[in-house]
Structure 1
């Protein structure tokens, strides 16, 4: 082959190699640009997700803070309620002690009253027995009194009869004395 043809072929081959390198460089550049564009898009999407998540987290933190404040208020209310319940429990215990003391006093009073009631029942039964005995005596006394009244009536009749006889005797005595005086005067 001719040396100028060889040289031309070599130039053409060199140009082809340069063209091939340029095509490869452009392809690599395009690939890098596409990759860079994709990475930028992914980075932007990642930034948007991070921003959205940050906003969501800020909102969630605000909600949690609000909930914490509400829970704190609830805890304060519960603590106050617990104190109030403790106070009421203490009062209830004191009331229970007072009620127990009152109950014991009532129990003692009930026992004393039951004892007194038993004594009173016994006394009442004794008085009823005594009353029955007195009624029996009273009946006997009434019978005896009726007999005495009959005797008094009989005695009054006898007294009236005796008084009548005495008055008659006195009248006769006076009459006799008057006759005797009249006889003595006539003598």
Structure 2
């Protein structure tokens, strides 16, 4: 099976308005109809098959049969697609969390903003070295983001940041940010 994006997926990727986490967005980008499930699993991780199923059910992907080689029969792709799907759903997935990943994500978001305040926050966050200063910089940037973008976008950025922050640091973000950004 070689999943490919639907019009809904293209719209979601362009508008940043879909309720997708970073890994789902990354998988949608990679699903171009050219890569099959084993290739996607190598790029995204063991949970790729389960995420493909979720995205197909949500209407973001459609499954296209793998291109058959002249030596294979037309029914050969069906067992290949069934095997990874059943193994991907059974295995629980533990996501990697990292302060570095959170910092890089927020630097990318700030870089996309066309505002002098965002540029100043970008440079300040880029220059910090200690973990405590990184946490302070992340807090400062998240608190300023609603004034630079829409509140809905700022909330989605906050939620995605909480997905990659180590749990010890994420706990410190949730209470302070809950009141700062309206849902």
TM range (shorter): under 0.3
Of structures 1 and 2, the larger Rg is shown by 1
Structure with greater helix percent: 1
TM-score by length of 1: 0.12
Higher relative contact order (CA 8 A, sep 6+): 2
- Which structure features the higher share of strand residues? 2
